[in-house]
Structure 1
Amino acid sequence: MDRICQLLGIEYPIIQGAMANVSRYQLVGAVSEAGGLGVIASGGMSADELRRQIQEVKKMTRKPFAVNLMLQMKNIEELVEVIIEEGVPVVTTGAGTPKNFISALHQANVKVLPVIPNVKIAKKMEALGVDAIIAEGQEAGGHIGQVSTLPLVRQVIRSVDVPIVAAGGIFDGAGMLAVEALGASGVQIGSLFLSSKESPIKEGFRNLVLQADETTTVVTGRRLGHPVRVLPNKMTEKYIRLEYEGASDEDLMKLAEGAMRRAVYEDDVEEGSLMCGQSIGLITESQNVDAIIQKLMEEYRQARLKLINQ
């Protein structure tokens, strides 16, 4: 997996997933300092807040880090300006096309890695000149596509030539080795870092993550074409019921408005949106980020050695 490490200037081929309201400087700086690529989730931020987050990460580490851009944000142009002004080396993108910003970002020596859910979009991103692609399967937490990680990653790799980072349901070194066998150059991991000690989630949310199994999560928004993987609670029960009773997009958006922030900062585990992926079934303890990354790499080395010796 040296290809993605060389491209991004990181020690380990591990990108921390951009989790809304979770991927703040405390987590991001810790991931980058430990040798991965920490990613600030800028969704919902003002330009000033993003600048503050970037500057706080710089206080924690001199190693590369990234900012994730939700391209449908109304202030997206301001956020891109901040990224360029602050010299952020990498951006990941979602919720739209980076077409209008790639030239300016590349001129500022910023690497661009879009997160994609299918082969069609992967081909479009390669045609735009992106530096690498993050292929995210529906096992991931939060906003998801319709294709699972294994078939998605393999088909994307056979369809484009840029480096591919695999995402969705990856939580240990054996998973890293598995997607490397498919041809992936690195991995993006979210839920494992959600459970870390540097994550801002509080006791209630954290305990639910650690107690859950691989069958626990539910997906809201499938009928309307906006699927989101979360832990079930009173809010999701009501959302899914209304969704299949024919409620309007507007009514459902009102129900979910501010739900992720409530989950993270108010520890509202009943009315908040507890976004996480199917990998939580084997996440049973909260560790600090450095321990998580070192364990991932040791598991990866042991899995490779075992495979060779079989």
Structure 2
Amino acid sequence: MKTRVTELLGIEYPIIQGGMAWVAEHNLAAAVSKAGGFGLIGAANAPVDVVRMEIRKAKEITDKPFGVNIMLLSPYAEDIARIVVEEGVSAVTTGAGNPEKYMDMWKTAGIKVIPVVASVALARRMERYGADAVVAEGCESGGHIGEQTTMTLLPQVVDAVKIPVIAAGGVGDARGFAAIRMLGAEAAQIGTRFVVAKEAVVHEAYKKRIISAKDIDTEVTGRTTGHPVRSLRNKMTREYLKLEKEGASFEELEYMTLGSLRKAVVDGDMIDGTVMAGQIAGLIKKEQSCSEIIQEIINGADKLLGI
């Protein structure tokens, strides 16, 4: 299954692993790339030296191309923007901000730039500033989300830009992959299903919680702050939503979630941790290797699309 995205990134299959904070570290990124997809190291709020170390460790595992997801709200974003150049990363994806001021530097270094967008307007702007592709992310995704669904956002972005469009949000199996291809996407960015990959270094309780999730088990917190986040419901989300309803301040809400993602991913705290996951969690029923996940999706989609 060749597309402009497979050509752009030098990969075998048009599947990109989401740059999930605390989850997307060197082991997972390297495993996805070795399996023919495109792995991403999620820089999130990690310090510069940590990101550099993660890049170098991934290179020790695979010689296949992989990238770094840079969260532009990170206090280290500017330094990490330079590190990806110094370390020879092949591509970057960006979120939580506008990457325009770094794009000339990245493009000069031969780095492919793929911003994550939640609107047609931002997709057009990124194309004007030289983005090589965009990820159109629907609100079905886990973690930080926009307002539009993948089903509505994706075809509008495809119609609005000439560069390749990658779909994110609600893709967890061959049917979802075939659907986004029919809507014009040239690759899928998949997050939640890779959380339960055998190579994902996350707490077993986190994986089991995703595998046991039902279709109605995700909840969105943070709408009042302007930074909505989708995760699996638990005691923390109930208390957060209660505080939101009562008009709690931004500072009070931020304090409540401080370090909560690490609690879930590293410590396995399914009660007070932020268990980020997309709505597709209800479809995920087993742990598999990255290679098994990719092959199952691609082979199934080939049959559905008649390739």
TM range (shorter): over 0.9
Could you tell me whether the CA contact under 8 Å between 2:141 and 2:230 is conserved in 1?
A: yes
Q: Is 1:207 matched with 2:211?
A: no
- Asked if the contact 2:192/2:280 (under 8 Å) is kept, the reply is yes
Normalised to the residue count of structure 2, the TM-score between the two structures is 0.98
Moved over 6 A (4+): none
CA distance in 2: counterparts of 1:200 and 1:236, whole angstroms: 24
Report what 1:16 is aligned to.
17
Query: Helix, strand or coil for the counterpart of 1:100?
Result: helix
Q: Is the 8 A contact 2:45 2:75 kept in 1?
A: no
Alignment of 1:19-98 (within 5 A): 19-98=20-99
Tell me whether 1:223 sits opposite 2:240 in the alignment: no
Counterpart code for 1:166: A
Deviations 1:230-249 (A, max 9, x none): 00111111100001100000
Question: How far apart, in 1, do the equivalents of 2:177 and 2:285 lie?
Answer: 19
Alignment of 1:168 onto 2:169: yes
Q: CA deviation at 1:18?
A: 0.8
1:142 has 2:121 as partner: no
Is the CA contact (8 Å cut-off) linking 2:45 and 2:76 kept in structure 1?
A: no
- 1-side partners of 2:98 and 2:175: how far apart? 32
- Give the distance between the partners of 1:50 and 1:208, measured in 2 at CA: 28
Structure-1 separation of matches of 2:77 and 2:184:
33
Name whichever of 119-128 and 249-258 sits farther off.
119-128
Deviation at 1:224, TM superposition (A): 2.4
CA deviation string 1:179-215 (max 9, x = no partner): 1111111110000001111112212211110011221
- Whichever residue aligns with residue 216 of structure 1, its letter is D
Matches within 5 A, 1:93-108: 93-108=94-109
Q: Letter of the aligned partner of 2:159 in structure 1?
A: R
- Tell me the SS of whatever aligns to 1:170: coil
Q: Deviations over 1:100-131 (max 9, x none)?
A: 10000001000000001111111111111100
Length-normalised TM-score, structure 1: 0.97
* Number of the residue aligned with 1:262: 263
For structure 1, list consecutive stretches of 5 or more residues without a partner in the other structure: none
Partner of 2:119: 118
Q: What are the ranges of 5 or more consecutive residues in structure 2 without an aligned counterpart?
A: none
Q: What percent identity do the matched residue pairs reach?
A: 44
Look up the equivalent residue of 2:237 and give its one-letter code. Answer: T
- 1:268-287 matches, within 5 Å, as 268-287=269-288
- d(CA) in 1 for partners of 2:128, 2:25: 31
Shifted more, 206-215 versus 130-139: the winner is: 206-215
- The number of equivalent residue pairs is 306
